[in-house]
Amino acid sequence: MSKRPVRPISSSSIRGRTVVRLRGTKDLIRTQYSGPKSATDYQKVLHELQIHQIELELQNAELLESRDRSEFLLNKFTELYDFAPVGYFSLDKKGIILEVNLTGATLLGVERSRLIGKAITRYISPSGRSYFLIFIEHVLSGNAKQFFDTTLTRGDATEFYASIHGIPVLGNDGTVPCCRMTISDITALRQADDVKRRLEVMAATNVSLQKEIAQRLVAEQALKNSERHYILLLEQSRQMQKQLRTLSHKILSAQEDERREISLELHDVISQTLISINVRLAGLKKHALANPRSLNRNIASVQRLVTSSVNIVHHFARELRPAMLDSLGLIPALRSFIYIFSKRTKIPVTMHVVQDVERLGNNKCTVLYRVAQESINNVARHARASHIELRIGNLSDGIYMCIKDNGKAFDVERTMLRMGDKRLGLLGMRERLEMIGGRFTIESTPGSGTMITAFIPTDGIKHPFPISRKRSKRPLQKTRSPIL
């Protein structure tokens, strides 16, 4: 059950009620004792007195309960005031402390009795005193609740961050306003905010660093790729330099070999033939008169020697540079070369060409002729093929020549990089084509033979290879070697 609330009874009201009852009791006794008294009258008076005594005891109990209640409420208020989680201060308009709770005294580190009558500004940091005076002025002017943060100094000279809130109230005399304010220690909160801001700055910095790290990783990877690329280019450059040096050496060696071969042929064949002709002519001169019948026979023999010498000279001329290439063009020169090659090696050669190839310059036609000559001769030397196909056609930006055989395959890269080969071969063909802006590829597959493709641009621009296989619509001229 809930207790019935006890109404507080003031001492003046209780005293008034007691006086009234005493007066009534005196009047009653005076009335009762004014005449002759009987035993019944005494009993009534005694009864009435007992009732008044009980009432007085009840009133005394109510007074004691009211006192206990008041003391409980006072203790509770005192506890709420003194042990509140914030410091309570009452200040006059000059900032003098009028009242303070225990929490406020603990915050400032000074006994409460020593704070009363002291100015609060002595505990505020010098940088915040001017703001505090403005704060008091705004509070006492009757504005809304004011607050600001500042640094306070305790009695032991230590500092802490505080949040101050203030409201105006009437003074003790009811006219002079004063200020009631609360002070809260926000040092931990301020530190937490600082830590949070630092963490946010660190997080932003971390994100920026991560982006920078990612960018640096990308740049580092790009540098590594670039380094590998340049290392590869450097290695390729070194290989090409070696190949160029090797090619130069081979060219010099080839020139010396050709000169030696021509010298031997001239000495062994042409010289002997000419000497034989000279001897025959001397014999004709000596025996012409003595034996006229043998003159015609000796003249025919000399003619045969002269014809043989002329054929040998023509053979040397064709090997050095065919005159037909300059006088008639590339196609007749290739036909003549293929005819002689097939007749000599017994390997049939099929040729498909377009007439547009004759529009190329003399240098380009010479390169195509030398590439075809070297490729076909290589087939006879190494491939053991039974058939060769030579095709020359149009593309949208140049002329291509493809030479394919059905002989045995070989390792292209190993052959291109081989340093001990004394033949010009593939390197010579590549160098000839690169001199005029062309390209060439070699495909060698076991069981399918070898295919060499050369490309020469018609506009003078160097084009990468492999090239697209867009064929010209112009008809091809087909030629077969005579032994087919």
Give the pLDDT means over successive 10-residue stretches in the chain (484 positions). 44 57 57 60 80 84 85 78 84 87 89 89 87 84 79 88 86 68 88 89 89 91 90 88 74 66 66 69 64 67 73 66 79 90 91 88 86 90 90 90 90 66 67 85 88 84 38 41 35
Q: What is the pLDDT of residue 387?
A: 93
Q: How far apart are CA 476 and CA 391, in angstroms?
A: 9
Q: What is the pLDDT of residue 400?
A: 92
Q: Are 369 and 375 in contact (CB under 8 A)?
A: no
Taking phi over 0 as left and psi of -120 to 50 as alpha, with beta for the rest, 414 belongs to alpha
How far apart are the C-alpha atoms of 242 and 417, rounded to whole Å?
Answer: 9
**Class in CATH terms, 87-185:** alpha beta
DSSP letter assigned to residue 270: I
Distance CA 52, CA 108 (A): 57
Q: 341: closest CA among 379, 367, 307, 313?
A: 379
Paired strand residues for 147: 165
C-beta separation of 334 from 353 below 8 A: yes
Q: What is the DSSP letter of 268?
A: I
At residue 420, the pLDDT reads 46
pLDDT of residue 318: 61
186 to 105, 153, 164, 190, 323: CA distances (angstroms): 16, 13, 10, 6, 107
* Domain 322-480 homologous superfamily, CATH: Histidine kinase-like ATPase, C-terminal domain (3.30.565.10)
120 vs 93: CA distance, rounded Å: 11
What pLDDT shows up at residue 6?
42
Q: What is the pTM of this model?
A: 0.42
* CA atoms of 301 and 455, how far apart (whole Å): 50
Dihedrals φ, ψ of 299, to 5°?
-65, -40
Contact of 90 with 177, CB cutoff 8 Å: no
How far is C-alpha 190 from the geometric centre of its chain's CA atoms?
39
